[in-house]
């Protein structure tokens, strides 16, 4: 019985290791399981051409999972960003600054300028309120909306896929 070429076997092992580590959308795993079935049959027959053809969709799924993971991880705070400390005084300071701005606007230009200044003051107050949350809180809030760039929740490989990966690795 002939064996797979060394480079092809190495590529299959690397792709399966990547696939085992990634997280994909729940709707993608059944298709990956079918692709792994074709890859399993091709590896069992030791048909290089069939293995290469069956490996393409599996490696695409592994690549997609790696990209999704990197994009989802891009939402993490940067290493050089110093987390802000939450403070309840910040909204009070923002409100005080807003009131002073409205008063100065009224004194300088009357009610019309005071209305424009109040719009700007509302923005200042909003920034002050937003500053009360820490960087980690903001990241957690964004992440709670979705774990993947497509806002579709991801999950690790189900048992069927993990067993298929183990079976193929055993054949190599």
**Averaged pLDDT for residues 140-169:** 71
In the prediction, which pLDDT does 78 show? Answer: 44
**Averaged pLDDT for residues 63-76:** 71
Start-to-end CA span in the chain (Å): 13
What pTM was estimated for this model as a whole? 0.54
**2-37: per-residue pLDDT in tens?**
687 888 889 989 999 988 888 887 788 888 889 999
- The whole-angstrom separation of Cα 57 and Cα 33 is 11
Q: Under a CB-based contact definition with an 8 Å cutoff, are residues 114 and 106 in contact?
A: yes
Enter the DSSP assignment of 25: E
The DSSP H or E segment spanning 99 is: helix 89-109
- The whole-angstrom separation of Cα 167 and Cα 59 is 17
- The whole-angstrom separation of Cα 150 and Cα 72 is 10
- The whole-angstrom separation of Cα 98 and Cα 104 is 10
**40-68: per-residue pLDDT in tens?**
898 888 888 888 999 999 998 888 888 87
């Amino acid at each position: 019985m002939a064996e797979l070429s060394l480079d092809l076997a190495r590529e299959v092992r690397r792709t399966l290791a990547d696939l085992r580590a990634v997280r994909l959308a729940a709707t993608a795993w059944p298709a990956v399981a079918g692709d792994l079935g074709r890859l399993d049959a091709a590896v069992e027959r030791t048909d290089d051409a069939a293995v290469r053809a069956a490996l393409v969709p599996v490696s695409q799924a592994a690549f997609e999972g790696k990209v999704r993971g990197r994009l989802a991880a891009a939402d993490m705070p940067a290493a050089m960003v110093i987390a802000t400390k939450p403070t309840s005084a910040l909204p009070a300071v923002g409100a005080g600054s807003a009131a002073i701005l409205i008063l100065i606007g009224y004194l300088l230009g009357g009610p019309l300028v005071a209305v424009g200044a109040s719009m700007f003051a509302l923005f200042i107050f909003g920034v002050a309120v937003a500053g009360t949350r820490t960087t980690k809180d903001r990241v957690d809030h964004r992440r709670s909306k979705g774990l993947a760039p497509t806002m579709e929740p991801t999950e690790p490989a189900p048992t069927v896929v993990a067993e298929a990966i183990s079976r193929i690795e055993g054949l190599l």
